[in-house]
C-alpha cells in the first residue's frame, strides 16, 4: 500500500498562475483533507471532504477550490496564485469514525513569486 500520495512534490509559480495539487489514497478512507503548514502557524485546514461527493470549507478556504473526483482522489486548485499562498500543502485521509486517526501524504512545497 502506498498510503497517501501527492503530486507534485515541489512547484514554483508566478503570481496569477493557476495549478492543481493532486492527492490519492489507497486505504479506502471516506474522508480526505487539505492542510497548509506555515512556519509558526501549525497545520491549518483548507478544505475537507467527509465522503465522495461532498466538500466543505475549513479554516482558510479563500483562494482555493477542491474536487473530490472519486473515493480515492481529492484535488486542490489555486485559480490565481498569490505570494501569500507560498506554503507546504499536505493532504490527509481518515476513516470517519469516533477516533479519526489521520494519515498524511508527503506534502507539496509551493513557492509563489
Q: To the nearest whole angstrom, how small is the minimum distance from the Cβ of residue 35 to other proteins?
A: 8
What gap in Å lies between CA 13 and CA 112, rounded to an integer?
A: 5
Q: To the nearest whole angstrom, how small is the minimum distance from the Cβ of residue 15 to other proteins?
A: 25
What gap in Å lies between CA 54 and CA 85, rounded to an integer?
A: 24
| Bridge partners, residue 74, by sequence | 68
What gap in Å lies between CA 77 and CA 106, rounded to an integer?
A: 18
Q: Does 53 bind other proteins (CB under 8 A)?
A: no
Q: Does 90 bind other proteins (CB under 8 A)?
A: yes
Q: To the nearest whole angstrom, how small is the minimum distance from the Cβ of residue 82 to other proteins?
A: 23
Report the Cα–Cα distance between both ends of the chain, in Å, rounded: 36
Q: Does 41 bind other proteins (CB under 8 A)?
A: yes
Where does this chain bind other proteins (CB under 8 A)?
Answer: 31, 33, 40-43, 45, 48, 58, 90, 96-107
Amino acid at each position: 500500500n502506498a498510503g497517501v500520495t501527492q503530486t507534485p512534490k515541489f512547484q514554483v509559480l508566478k503570481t496569477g498562475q493557476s495549478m492543481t495539487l493532486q492527492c490519492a489514497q489507497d486505504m479506502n478512507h471516506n474522508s480526505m483533507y487539505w492542510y497548509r503548514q506555515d512556519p509558526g502557524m501549525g497545520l491549518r485546514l483548507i478544505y475537507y471532504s467527509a465522503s465522495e461527493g461532498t466538500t466543505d470549507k475549513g479554516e482558510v478556504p479563500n483562494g482555493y477550490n477542491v474536487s473530490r473526483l472519486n473515493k480515492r482522489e481529492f484535488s486542490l486548485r489555486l485559480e490565481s496564485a498569490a505570494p501569500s499562498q507560498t506554503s507546504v500543502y499536505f493532504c490527509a485521509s481518515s476513516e470517519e469514525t469516533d477516533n479519526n486517526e489521520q494519515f498524511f501524504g508527503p506534502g507539496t512545497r509551493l513557492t509563489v513569486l
